[in-house]
């Protein structure tokens, strides 16, 4: 893990249609965590 980097951190809660779409869209532009309860 790098500190001081410019990567955004995004947490998406819910892996439904909208959650999956936003996770797929952001996967290369941010550090992404998808939580599907």
Q: What is the pLDDT of residues 1-37, one digit of tens each?
A: 556 667 889 999 999 999 999 989 988 989 999 999 8
Task: Look up residue 7 and give its DSSP letter.
Answer: -
- Domain edges within the chain: 1-37
Residues 13-33 as b or e (16 or more Cβ within 10 Å = b) = eeeeeeeeeebeeeeeeeebe
Inter-residue contact 9 to 31 (CB < 8 Å) = yes
Q: What is the pTM of this model?
A: 0.67
Q: Please give the pLDDT value at position 37.
A: 84
């Amino acid at each position: 893990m790098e500190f001081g980097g410019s990567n955004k951190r995004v947490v998406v809660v819910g892996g439904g249609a909208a959650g999956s779409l936003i996770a797929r869209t952001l996967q290369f532009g941010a550090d992404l965590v998808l939580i599907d309860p």
